[in-house]
Amino acid sequence: MSKAAIDIDDLPYADGDFFGFEQMLTTKEKDRLAEIRGFLAREVKPIAVDCWNRGEFPMDLIPKLAEIDLVSPVRRQGHSNLFAGIMHAEVTRADTSISTFMGVHDGLFTGSIEALASQEQQEAWLPDIYSMKKIGAFGLTEPLGGSDVAGGTRTTARYDGGQWILNGAKRWIGNATFSDWVVIYARDEADNQVKGFLVDTKSAGYTATKIENKISLRTVQNADIVLDNVVVPEFFKLANANSFRDTNKVLKVTRLGVAWQAVGQQLAAFDVARRYAVERNQFGRPLASFQLVQNQLVQILGNAVSSMGMMVRLSQLEDAGAAKDEQSALAKAFTTARMRESVALGRSILGGNGIVTDYEMAKVFADAEAIYSYEGTHEINTLVTGRAITGISAIV
């Protein structure tokens, strides 16, 4: 690439925040966000593509993530949900795999303990979870159960003499190849209700096997889990996880996190595509000088800004305790659809260079597919929203 005279880092909208949503943060939150961005630029961005290409997780990054202290920004650190969302988008902007790692450990796993464990359990477990001395995973999805797992959980739990016996299988469980603990959701044979259990991954009968050959989130270590008569002491049954309705308290919040990931993914596509368009010359001038390329860049930006605007309002509702399940569902469906369009436009701007990870866009493009599918598919979230506005369920 030839260097253009324009330095896009000096342009007024270098951060992609075209409507200035970040100005709604407090001064303390803005300073904290700047600190986190600096960390991501130093420690995450430089290694992201190489780790993705190799399909390996950078274990030496975990102590650094612990030091920058990203876990539980709302409940423990007292930040707003808006700050937590923008922070999650920024981690995604640097690397979707690392943001997914944090989303599993912090959002799904830590969120399960914060929402569903007793006070005594929280006091015993959360210190090591917050400090990342113990890494967690979240076991809900199964080999034969994805969107329908709420009513079709096949993993079972049987109470026997003061302890629980778990049997079954889980699939697509992020972090599970190296996590210390995993929250397993299983159907109690006695009352047919889905309940939650904190499982030590060193337990006899527990195995986790890495899922290979992924085209998305290659750095994330997803696993197939098998539970063969795994014994769980009574204290490790989450006190307030007694039905799938309880589980959904966690999922409603983490669905917001995934929608914020879709924002971050679009900002990443915008970063890469805009820089390439300004610096790449074709027909003797920068790609960015062509009207069709500017149209594509503006469409990416518009998608990102509209998604961010929706998420800002939803975060405000969450701060007020007024966010509803169907609002989270609409946000996840809308932002991920816009994301899919944005990353495709970005890949198009890079032409052939958009299909190799050397230019980063191929990684951004591929990672979007995972975000589009997890935490409720686009179709399921659409139907949840449809049920809310018609009063009629189209989900079988």
72-92, pLDDT tens digit by residue?
999 999 999 999 999 999 999
State the pLDDT at residue 150: 65
Final residue in a domain of this structure, among 130, 155, 174 = 130
Domain of residue 274: give its range: 245-390
- Distance (Å) of CA 75 to CA 70, 83, 322: 12, 12, 17
Q: Is 157 helix (H, G, I), strand (E, B) or coil?
A: strand
State the pLDDT at residue 265: 98
Are both 94 and 153 inside the same structural domain?
Answer: no
**Using CA atoms, how far apart are residues 220 and 225, in angstroms rounded to an integer?**
15
Model confidence pLDDT, tens digit, residues 100-131: 999 999 999 999 999 999 999 999 999 999 99
Structural domain contains residue 156: yes
Relative to beta strand 222-233, strand 281-282 is unpaired
Structural domain contains residue 350: yes
Structural domain contains residue 114: yes
Are both 342 and 301 inside the same structural domain?
Answer: yes
Are both 237 and 264 inside the same structural domain?
Answer: no
State the pLDDT at residue 323: 93
CATH of the domain at 86: 1.10.540.10
Are both 145 and 118 inside the same structural domain?
Answer: no
pLDDT grade, residue 5 (50/70/90)? low
Structural domain contains residue 95: yes
Structural domain contains residue 5: no
On average, the pLDDT of the chain sits at 95
Percent of the chain with pLDDT over 70: 98
Model confidence pLDDT, tens digit, residues 269-282: 999 999 999 999 99
Are both 146 and 228 inside the same structural domain?
Answer: yes
- Closest CA relative to residue 101, chosen from 217, 210, 264: 217
**pLDDT exceeds cutoff 70 at 2:** no
**pLDDT exceeds cutoff 60 at 368:** yes
Angle between helices 81-94 and 291-319 (to 10 degrees): 140
Read off the pTM: 0.94
CATH of the domain at 285: 1.20.140.10
Model confidence pLDDT, tens digit, residues 248-297: 889 888 999 999 999 999 999 999 999 999 999 999 999 999 999 999 99
Angle (nearest 5°) at CA 313 between 344 and 298 = 30
Q: What are phi and psi of 342, to 5 degrees?
A: -65, -45
Are both 229 and 256 inside the same structural domain?
Answer: no
State the pLDDT at residue 196: 97
Structural domain contains residue 204: yes
For the chain, give percent helix, strand, coil, nearest 5.
55, 15, 30
Which residues touch 179 (CB under 8 Å, ≥6 apart)?
105, 109, 135, 136, 137, 201
Are both 99 and 220 inside the same structural domain?
Answer: no
DSSP state of 165: E
What's the token pair of residue 86? Answer: 């923008």
Taking residues 238-249, report their average pLDDT. Answer: 93
Final residue in a domain of this structure, among 72, 96, 130 = 130
Angle (nearest 5°) at CA 374 between 369 and 375 = 145
Taking residues 235-243, report their average pLDDT. Answer: 97
Final residue in a domain of this structure, among 215, 242, 269 = 242
Structural domain contains residue 396: no
Are both 160 and 252 inside the same structural domain?
Answer: no
**pLDDT exceeds cutoff 70 at 4:** no
Are both 108 and 220 inside the same structural domain?
Answer: no
State the pLDDT at residue 396: 72
State the pLDDT at residue 3: 47
Side-chain half-sphere exposure of 47, counting CA atoms within 13 A: 16
Structural domain contains residue 367: yes
Are both 198 and 271 inside the same structural domain?
Answer: no
**pLDDT exceeds cutoff 80 at 148:** no
More confident of the two residues 37 and 16: 37
Model confidence pLDDT, tens digit, residues 99-108: 999 999 999 9
Are both 186 and 323 inside the same structural domain?
Answer: no
Count of the separate structural domains present in the chain: 3
- Contacts made by residues 209-218, CB under 8 angstroms, sequence distance 24+: 209/177, 210/177, 211/171, 211/172, 212/55, 214/55, 215/366, 215/369, 216/366, 216/367, 216/368, 216/369, 216/370, 217/96, 217/97, 217/100, 217/367, 217/370, 218/51, 218/52, 218/53, 218/54, 218/55, 218/97
CATH of the domain at 236: 2.40.110.10
Q: Which of 324-336 are b and which e, b meaning 16 or more Cβ less than 10 Å from the residue's Cβ? A: ebbbbbbbbbbbb
Are both 380 and 299 inside the same structural domain?
Answer: yes
